[in-house]
Structures are given as C-alpha cells and as structure tokens.
Chain A
Amino acid sequence: MDVLYFAWVRERIGLPRERIETSATTVAGLVEELRAREDRYAAAFADLSALRVALDQELSSFDASLQGVREVAFFPPMTGG
C-alpha cells in the first residue's frame, strides 16, 4: 500500500510517501511496524494523540482495519481556514 506523510510527520520521517508491504491488519499494527524500523519513525509516531490518520482519503482511526485499503496517510491535526 502507499503510505503518505504530511507536515511535520513528513519532515520528521524525511519523505512524503513510500510503498510498504505489510502484514498488519490494523492502522495500529502498521504504526508498530513503522516504529520498529528506525528512530525517525519512532520519533514521528511517539505520540499518537498528536496524529491523525486517513484511509483512502477519508479520516479514520488507529484501530481501523486495513483490509482493502490502498492508501494510508498520517498527519498532525489539520489547520485549515
């Protein structure tokens, strides 16, 4: 699946998107996999309360299933307007 990062999450991880093969079944499971990869991922995902997630461009939650999902995006709370 494609994993996208925005704002300071993108800066902390150092790239805007990447393709990831994962066996995780939930967003939380994917986050655990990413955290274990490298320090920069662990730093970006240190505090999930400071993050939001969208699945296929719809706002979702960390306990959501990844079944059938093609695009996951992680970002801080939005600041539009």
Chain B
Amino acid sequence: MQVSVQEEGFEFGARAEAFAQANNAMGAIVTFTGIVRDADQGGLVAMEIEHYPGMTLKALTEITQTAMDRWSLGDALVIHRYGRLAPGEQIMMVATASRHRKDAFEAAEYLMDYLKSRAPFWKKEILDSGTTDWVAAKDSDEDALDRW
C-alpha cells in the first residue's frame, strides 16, 4: 500500500508501469488519473488545491486501508497533489492490483468516491477574468458514497 500527498507532479505512465510490474502476479491492474480541466465557463488559469496537512495523509491512509480490507487486493496506490496546478496537469492517481478485475475496478471506484468527499482537499479555480471560485461539492458526490 502506497499513499502520497505531495506538491510536486508525478509521471502517471511511469508510476502505472512500476505498479503493474511490482504486481505482475496479480492478473488485474486498474488505474485512474484525474487531470485539471478548464472551468465550466472557460478561462481557467490555475487550480489551487488547499489541504489540511495534519489530517490528509491519515484520511487517505484510512480510506486506502479500508479498500485493502474490503476487496481482495494485492496492493493499492494513491497519490494526491496540492498547491497550484495548471490546466492539463495531473491532480491525483489511484491504482489497484487484484487477481480479479471486479475487485480491482470496484476498489478503484471506492477510492475515487471517498477521495472526492472524505479527503480534506479544497479546490479553487483562478480565472483569467481575475475572479476566483471555490469548487462546490456536489450532492451527487455525497450520494455516491451510499452505494458502498
């Protein structure tokens, strides 16, 4: 299990490949990466991600450990960045390894749903108009937890 909260970027391809190689007896690897996209109204200059340093790593570790306990996983990887990110940059990634793809997919979705609503990060959009907007949580994000 690998959990990282970091400001610096990461190479998604290299991390996915290393994870797959380290778990090559598993049979199924699922990866997901989230990328900074333009604001709904356009004009995104940067996204600033604030976090709660004392809580973030602990929360991510608990979420990942729950996934490891609940599904049959050989390993799981979570990387989440904070700080100022430009459009197109990677925000985060998860990877899961299992003997069976159903476990790998479900655990990855669980990780994504919980990272969205239970990991202490807050996103702020910096727009070229000079305005800033805190990204609001969606009811659908909270509802997504109900299925677990």
Contact surface of A with B, Cβ cutoff 8 Å: 4, 6-8, 54, 57-59, 71, 73, 75-81
CA distance A75 to B55 in the complex (A): 13
Q: Please pick, from B58, B115, B124, B136, the residue contacting A80 in the complex, using a CB distance under 8 A.
A: B115
26 A-B residue pairs with Cβ-Cβ distance under 8 Å, sorted by A, are A6-B120, A6-B122, A8-B134, A54-B52, A54-B55, A57-B52, A57-B59, A58-B55, A73-B52, A73-B55, A75-B52, A75-B122, A76-B134, A77-B142, A78-B117, A78-B118, A78-B122, A78-B137, A79-B121, A79-B123, A80-B80, A80-B92, A80-B117, A81-B91, A81-B112, A81-B119
How many interface contacts (CB-CB < 8 Å) are there between A and B? Answer: 70
Contact A59 B118 (CB under 8 A): yes
- Asked if A79 and B135 sit within 8 Å, CB to CB, the answer is yes
Tell whether A57 pairs with B134 under 8 Å between CB atoms, given A78-B122, A79-B116, A79-B123. Answer: no
List of B residues within 8 angstroms of A4 by Cβ: 52
Q: Which residue of B lies closest to A54 (CB)?
A: B55
B135 cross-chain contacts in A, Cβ below 8 A: 79
Residue tally, chain B, CB below 8 Å to A? 27
- When the two chains form their complex, are residues A7 and B54 in contact, meaning their CB atoms are under 8 A apart? no
- Interchain CB contact under 8 A, A80 and B52: no
Q: Does B50 interact with chain A (Cβ within 8 Å)? A: yes
Residues from chain A with a CB closer than 8 A to the CB of B83 are: none
Is B34 part of the binding interface, using a Cβ–Cβ cutoff of 8 Å? yes
Known: A7-B50, A76-B134, A80-B119. A57 touches B55 (CB 8 A): yes
B137 and A76 contacting across the interface, CB-CB below 8 Å: yes
Partner of B120, one of A8, A54, A71: A54
Give CA–CA (A76, B52) in the complex, Å: 12
